[in-house]
Structure 1
């Protein structure tokens, strides 16, 4: 995952805007997130659609529409639709994420009964 990000990046959610560094701490954050998603019963994630908006010849804005399927132990399958907007820098090595904006993920999990 880290290879998809620039050395420095920005993340924005409903409660905060943060800067990040693509380093070992970020790698640990990704590992912790993966563990959390497994714990709440994540089974699959699909891209339903995406829209690319060119900003200039070096940058794009990409809105990705996801559907994630969750099946916690002993509970029926639930699907949650959500989207994330990524800001991409076009480099010689390919596109890299330099920022992203997401909605209230935890509220969506509370609403679906996946977390309390």
Structure 2
């Protein structure tokens, strides 16, 4: 399972950076995410379906990231905690790089904890837990 989950996050990183560059592949969303998911942050808990509403939210999100100057997302570490033969928590350590005319290049480290299910050898994200992204960005002068 560990090798498959690491491959999933390599694809996730590549997908994120392609999407930042304006090359969003809706079919990759289906390969990365389960049919339903849960997300949690200090803003609350939400659930959703891997459907057109997720794709629109992601497109809007990548546009917002571009507007705030996000240039690159790098997966700098991944620790996997197995739960059983089908599930794990993938603790992802990310570095986001921002640059704008009014902002010097700024790298921000943050962690997200993903819930991953592997069925038939194929891992997919079905949830995540993240910290306060807005406060982190404000603290670094991005917002």
TM-score in terms of structure 2 length: 0.77
- Please, which of 53, 57, 63 is the counterpart of residue 81 of structure 2? 53
Matched with 1:27 is 55
The separation in 2 between residues aligned to 1:13 and 1:26, in whole angstroms, is 17
Post-superposition Cα deviations, 1:2-29, rounded to whole Å, max 9, x if no partner, equal 2211111000001200101111011000
Aligned length: 115
Structure 1 spans left out of the alignment, 5+ residues: none
| C-alpha deviation, 1:93, in angstroms | 5.6
Match of 1:72 in 2: 100
Question: Structure 1 stretches (4+) deviating beyond 4 angstroms?
Answer: none
Output aligned runs, 1:30-109, within 5 Å: 30-92=58-120, 94-109=122-137
State how far apart, in whole Å, the 2-side matches of 1:97 and 1:74 are: 36
SS of equivalent to 2:103: coil
Q: Report the CA distance shift for 1:93/1:54 in structure 2 as closer, same or farther (over 3 A).
A: closer
2:117 and 2:38 map into 1 onto residues whose CA distance is 12
Which of the numbers 18, 41, 44 marks the counterpart of 1:13? 41
Alpha-carbon offset, residue 96 of structure 1: 0.5
- SS at the partner of 1:45? strand
Q: Normalized against structure 1, the TM-score is what?
A: 0.95
Q: Per residue, is there more helix in 1 or in 2? A: 2
Structure with bigger strand share is: 1
SS of the residue corresponding to residue 56 of structure 1 reads coil
